Amino acid sequence: MQDFFADGPERKDEKLDEGALLLRGFAEGMAADLLAEIDRIAAAAPFRHLVTPGGFRMSVAMTNCGDFGWVSDRRGYRYDPQDPESGRPWPPMPPLFLDLATRAAAMAGFPGFHADVCLINCYTPGTRLTLHQDKDEGDFTQPIVSISLGLPAVFLWGGLARTDKARRIPLYHGDVVVWGGKSRLRYHGIAPLKEGSHPLLGARRLNLTFRRAR
């Protein structure tokens, strides 16, 4: 069984690099409200496993909300204003989401951030996200805001080249990572999720990633 919360020094905010800040427990107090909104979003746009341009099925299930959604298929990675499975617009961004992302970005030195898309990833034990850059957005001056809920995870924080050694940073329920500026295009990922059961989410980890697509 895993620990759900870290005590002592690990719960302090941590500067990862210039333009990158880990806010420990920043979203913990509003987790129940965030989860209720996620349930509403998933009812309209269910979680699904996307396929990479190379034809591989992604292990992490995902959905989106906001003006756009991030999608992947044989045609490539892109943002689309419509859910390709339903043909309808993605569910709107809840005000709670937008406010939280804006406040977290401001704490990291990026005032005025206004996300227009939120990717919601669902991890189960054994799933992972390989090192990658977030580079499908139209404006790299805008940061990325990432919120962790549920099972703990190991965040892989790399460099500006895929071959750079990645640091292994534990993330816990309610932690928020913001990166932008000189860190905006750093490689990052999630190590395979370990077995566990969280009081609110059971054997799952949910990750909300806020971006400015356009």
Q: Is residue 1 part of a domain?
A: no
Distance CA 110, CA 21 (A): 11
pLDDT tens figures, 81-126: 999 999 999 999 999 999 999 999 999 999 999 999 999 999 999 9
Which CATH number goes with the domain that contains 156? Answer: 2.60.120.590
Q: What is the pLDDT of residue 10?
A: 53
Please report whether residue 206 resides in a domain.
yes
Question: Does residue 5 lie within any of the structural domains?
Answer: no
Residues 6+ apart with CB under 8 A from 82: 69, 88, 89, 90
- Which residue type occupies 2? Q
Predicted confidence at residue 9, as pLDDT, reads: 42
For the cut 60, the answer to whether the pLDDT of residue 2 exceeds it is no
Domain span holding position 37: 13-211
Banded pLDDT at 11 (limits 50, 70, 90): confident
Q: Edge to edge, what strands does the sheet with 20-23 contain?
A: 14-17, 20-23, 176-179, 144-150, 205-211, 117-123, 61-66
In a domain, residue 4? The reply is no
Residue 51 in domain: yes
DSSP assignment, residue 88?
Answer: S
**Number of structural domains in the chain:** 1
Give the pLDDT score at 4.
Answer: 46
**In-domain check, residue 6:** no
The verdict on residue 183 lying in a domain is: yes
- What is the pLDDT averaged over residues 171-185? 98
Angle in degrees, CA 181, 104, 15, rounded to 5: 55
The answer as to whether 3 is a domain residue is: no
